[in-house]
A and B are shown apart, each in its own frame.
Chain A
Amino acid sequence: MIPITAPFTEEKMRSLKVGDAVAISGVLFTGRDAVHKYLHEGGALPAGVALRDGIIYHCGPVVLKDEKGDWKVTAAGPTTSIREEPYQGQIIREFGLRGVIGKGGMGERTLQACKENGCVYLHAIGGAAQVLAECVTRVLNVYLLEEFGSPEAIWELEVRDFPAVVTMDSHGRSLHQEVFEHSKAELENYL
């Protein structure tokens, strides 16, 4: 595993290649359907949400308040990323993202934005909510909670050794494209 530690510089992210297994440590911001649509439509980024040179995580966690009143993430796997394909490229460009964590991969426009802006797509293991929640060391803040509800809010999470695989890099390669093409060709042999 390649350790990726904040700050997430362009140089660091550009050094990553499809197939690299990484362990991420630093701050992540969750953002999924409602957040992407909101930013796409020109919604203001709440003060404190630092996306520049940051990583957005497609995730709607389960978050409970513990007995002291502190937030605690009890389940936090990725959600399907392709739904953000209409918005992601623009958000990578406008906000200077260096990483997008999700699952299932994204399309051509996101791949292009990754290439132009030195960003990578990091695939976390879908459904692995407990393993990934264990990597969340602290909930630093939450934004747009009232507006969007808990799963769709922006949660600012401190993580340590969060495991993911680079499946789209900043050099134009997408594992998803390659596996799709390969499996499509393979299927022809069985029809």
Chain B
Amino acid sequence: MNDLLDSLIEIIRRTSAEIPDDVQRSILAALEAEKKGSIAESAMKIIERNIALAKQKSQPICQDTGSVLFYVATPVGFDQITFEETAKQAVRKATLLGYLRQNSVNSLTGANDGTNVGPGAPSMHFHQHREPHVEVRLILKGGGCENVGAQYSLPNEKLKANRDLPGCRKVILDAVLQAQGKGCGPGILGVCIGGDRATGYELSKHQFLRLLDDHNPQPELEALEQDILQTANQLGIGPMGFGGKTTLLGVKIGAANRVPASFFVSVSYMCWAFRRQGVRLGPEAEIAEWLY
């Protein structure tokens, strides 16, 4: 399995050091849009320079290399146990190489053994597909943006949000308002309407696997995505919360069934340092194709 180990280390390296093309295009557009000479513009300039520097030096875009989230699509009958063991090895090695910060802390003792491997770390999400190949996607999600995520239970009286799409819109915009610049904006929202408390957040993060410039196949969700994006960018929160034009770079919304008693809207926030890459593996577990 050495090819798999090497491939996984390379995926981690590239995810940590190189912003995906779709996100970079969006950041450049945001830089152009900010008022010349404003502190928002200077923030975007530093962000642009940082992206170039990280790639050139092959070092983390952000020092918070975050939660390590693997999303793996496998053929039927694939050995997930060996894959997971190899992924853990890859995470250890990538940490030694400085692609990942020593970022995993024992929640009971506060101990950090410096390996990034422990209960729940890295986080593995497997699913099968009827294809002969394996696809590995990786998201590194920093703690600052994770902390500004929010889950609302509708109806929400304070926000006058009922159990309908206008109610969803209200709570999602509240999440944007509360986040301000604390999640390192301009950010990207991943939202799940419905599900339970666990699957809601889970599916909200799945939205980050979508390309920023794609379109939601469900027309009412596509409309809601565009509405939230445009409205958020009228609020004047701006890059880092300095005030300015671009508060969000994208909004991605999915929906899952719920039980009659529950109506959750789960909002995950991704920072501008949107670290997400993916590959299709070849027959020897070598990297055959990059997906983003």
On A, residues with C-beta under 8 Å from B are: 19, 21, 34, 59-62, 64, 74-77, 79-80, 82-83, 103-105, 123, 125-131, 133-134, 148-152, 163, 165, 167, 175-176, 178-180, 182-184, 186-187, 190-191
Collect the chain A residues with CB atoms within 8 Å of residue B60's CB: 62, 74-75, 129-130
Task: State which residues 230-282 of B face A: CB under 8 Å.
Answer: 231, 234-238, 240-243, 271-273
Q: Are A151 and B112 in contact (CB under 8 A)?
A: yes
Q: Are B112 and A149 in contact (CB under 8 A)?
A: yes
Segment touching A, from B6-14, B84-92, B96-104, B197-205? B96-104
Q: Are A130 and B59 in contact (CB under 8 A)?
A: yes
Q: Between A and B, how many residue pairs show CB distances below 8 Å?
A: 165
B184 touches which one: A82, A103, A105, A133 (CB < 8 A)? A103
Q: Are B101 and A62 in contact (CB under 8 A)?
A: yes
What are 9 contact pairs spanning A and B, CB under 8 A?
Answer: A103-B240, A105-B241, A126-B62, A126-B271, A127-B47, A131-B46, A150-B101, A150-B114, A183-B235
Instruction: Identify whether the interface residues of B are mostly helix, strand, loop, or mixed.
Output: loop
Say yes or no: is B224 at the interface (Cβ < 8 Å to chain A).
Answer: no
Mask, B40-66, CB within 8 Å of A = 1, is: 001100110110011001011111110
Say yes or no: is B182 at the interface (Cβ < 8 Å to chain A).
Answer: yes
A131 to B45, CA, bound (A): 11
Q: Are B180 and A179 in contact (CB under 8 A)?
A: yes
A129 touches which one: B50, B183, B231, B241 (CB < 8 A)? B50
By the criterion of a CB under 8 Å from any partner CB, how many residues of chain B are at the interface? 52
On B, residues with C-beta under 8 Å from A are: 39, 42-43, 46-47, 49-50, 53-54, 57, 59-65, 98, 101-103, 105, 110-112, 114, 142-144, 147, 160, 170, 173, 177, 180-184, 231, 234-238, 240-243, 271-273
CB-nearest residue of chain B to A60: B63
From B61, B142, B231, B242, name the one whose CB has the most chain A CB atoms within 10 angstroms.
B242
Q: Are B272 and A127 in contact (CB under 8 A)?
A: yes
Given contacts A80-B144, A128-B47, contact A179 B241 (CB under 8 A): yes
Collect the chain A residues with CB atoms within 8 Å of residue B50's CB: 125, 127-131
Q: Are B180 and A127 in contact (CB under 8 A)?
A: no
Closest CB in chain B relative to A118 CB, distance in Å: 23
Other A-B contacts than A62-B101, A176-B180, A190-B173, 7 sampled, CB-CB below 8 A, are: A62-B59, A128-B47, A129-B59, A130-B53, A131-B49, A150-B101, A182-B243
Collect the chain A residues with CB atoms within 8 Å of residue B49's CB: 128, 131
Q: Are A125 and B59 in contact (CB under 8 A)?
A: no
Closest CB in chain A relative to B70 CB, distance in Å: 21
Collect the chain B residues with CB atoms within 8 Å of residue A184's CB: 177
Instruction: Identify whether the interface residues of A are mostly helix, strand, loop, or mixed.
Output: mixed
The 6 A-B residue pairs with the shortest CB-CB distance in the complex, in nearest-first order: A149-B112, A104-B182, A126-B184, A75-B63, A127-B273, A130-B53
Collect the chain B residues with CB atoms within 8 Å of residue A134's CB: 53
Q: Are A77 and B53 in contact (CB under 8 A)?
A: no
Closest CB in chain A relative to B276 CB, distance in Å: 14
A128 to B272, CA, bound (A): 10
Given contacts A130-B59, A183-B237, A191-B173, contact A104 B144 (CB under 8 A): yes
Closest CB in chain A relative to B86 CB, distance in Å: 24
